[in-house]
Structure 1
Amino acid sequence: MDQEKQPGAHQAPAHYESGDGCLTTLIRIPVRIVVLVIVLPVRMVWDALVATSRAADRMLLRPVGRALAWLGRVLVVIPLVRLYESVLTPLGHGLRWLAAVAGRGVRWLGAAVFVWPWVALWRHVVVPVVRYGVVAPAVRLYASVLTPLGHGLRRVYRTLLTPVGRGVAAVTVWVLTALFVWPVVGVWRYLLVPLAFALDMLVKSLIVAPLAWTYRALLTPLGHGIVWLAGVMASGVVAVARGLGTAVAWLVMTVLVTPVRWFWRRVLAPVGREVAVATGVAWRVAGYLSRAVGRALAWLAWHLVGAPVAWTYRTVCTPVGHFVRDMVWAPARRAAAEAGRAAREALRTARETVRRARRDAWRALVVGGPVPEPREPVAPLARTLGSTTTVPSAAPEPEISLRKQG
């Protein structure tokens, strides 16, 4: 029982590894062989999936993602930006201007319909009528009639009614006191107070004193005895329950917990630990084997496919590509550029000729004669550089417009 009360007395440290017992030595090698046989295909499949996913990401997903991003930018983002800049922005500005103009119009219309008539009515009708029809007569009536009348009534009250009112008030107070206060005070002092005192003494003598004696002499000792008896019985029940609990706990520990703990410490824990260690070792060994198999397959693929393809590309395709680029593609591109430049020049010359012919025909039909080409204005010879004064030794030149000079 003392060992059971100290569960940490015989426990091993956290990183303690027990020595190799017979059971551990017996199951270690077979378990590692079985786990290696089971884990090796899983590790090889895992390494193959990892290599495949990396190759797919490098050679397929990233180029496809870049191509999709470029297509999205070219087909969606750039058209939307151009649409926003060329259509939606001017449209928004126009709508905002229209909304501002409409708001100003609605505000002016609302003010003209709902505000200005009421303001004019208040300012030119209500205020003059109230001021000159009501307020001014009322002020004049108060100042010239009500104020002198109030002063006269106050003087009459002070000189005549004040002494009479004081006498009447004193008589009224004495009569009310004699009728209502003195009878109530007499009833309270000479009838109700003695009656209440007698009732109080009667209740104390007949009810309160017997009840107090009963509580002090009977109920209190009886309650103390009941509490003591209940305490004794509860102590006995607790002692019996504690003994039964101790017996049941000892029985459970002896019959169930101790065998299970021994089986866990001696059988399950070593087997589980060895299986976990064997799984880690087998995973690492399988990784080495899988990596070696992968290197062997990569070496075979390079020497059977990669090296011949590289040699063909380097010794055959590269010279042929350079020959096609230098001898065929570059002259063709230069010739196409020259042809395009000549075509653009011819189109520009033709457009200029057509534009000039159309302008000359329009002038001949509408104006009535050829109009000279615009040129730089010629300053008159009779003026100075500032064109504000004339030269004293030169006659002023006639001021003729450029159109008439042409």
Structure 2
Amino acid sequence: MGAGTDPHRPSPPSERAEGCLVVALRIPLRIVVLVLVVPVRMAWDALAATGRFLWRYGLAPVGRAIGRLLYGLFVVPLGWLYRYLLAPLGHALVWVYARVLTPVGHAVMWVLRPVGQAVAWLLRTVGTGIGTALYWIARVLLVLPALALWRWVLAPVGRALAVVGREIGTALGHAWRIAGHVSRAVGRVLGTLFRWILVEPVRWVYRTLLTPVGHVLRDVLLRPVAEAARAVGRATGQALAAARETVRQARADVRRALFGEPRRPEPVDRREPTAAGTRTLGRSTTALTKD
């Protein structure tokens, strides 16, 4: 009983109509259904998450590809077949029906109508008598027992089963919602445990141990080694440069000792001729023919 309910207030008509059966079944059914539904709801949530992942990254792209393939293999050829073969054939059949078969059928009906009317009257007269007899036989043998069975057996049993099914459905709904809360709580607890058991220790080890050790190794070992390597590289480069210069000088000394000093080329006068030796407009001599 809730805190705000009045014990002397009469129950509403819906509660009085439910009866003792509903009150006796409701709480045990909800407890049993809750116990059974919690694992199912948790498994359902896990499967739903997995299914969404598979659908987004697996089934949906494959389905779109298959849809495009089926469209290209079936829909386009069938559309072409309908447009260029079946539609013209259908129009031709409609024309034949309207222009040929319908007039022929009308002509045949004008010939056979009196015979058909006579046969229909005979069949209607005989069928009415037979139908009336069969109606009363079926009413006495089938309808009245069926009505009695429905009124006195099936309807009460159906109402009882409806009450039980309604309570089971309500219990399943409550249990499903409670199982959802339980599943989410379990997921949060597992996530917290995973973070505190694995993520936080790894983060602490990285921040407290590995980072200082890495800094020490960098400052004590790696940086001096790098400096030494750079110094060795510079010394090696200078030694190689000195060796190349020494080899070049030695090669030049050997060449001078064997072949002597190379003869320097005589300088060539590349200056322009002076003003007196150049050709002018008023003189017929040039710098080449003046002598």
TM-score w.r.t. the length of structure 1 is 0.33
Q: Which has the larger radius of gyration?
A: 1
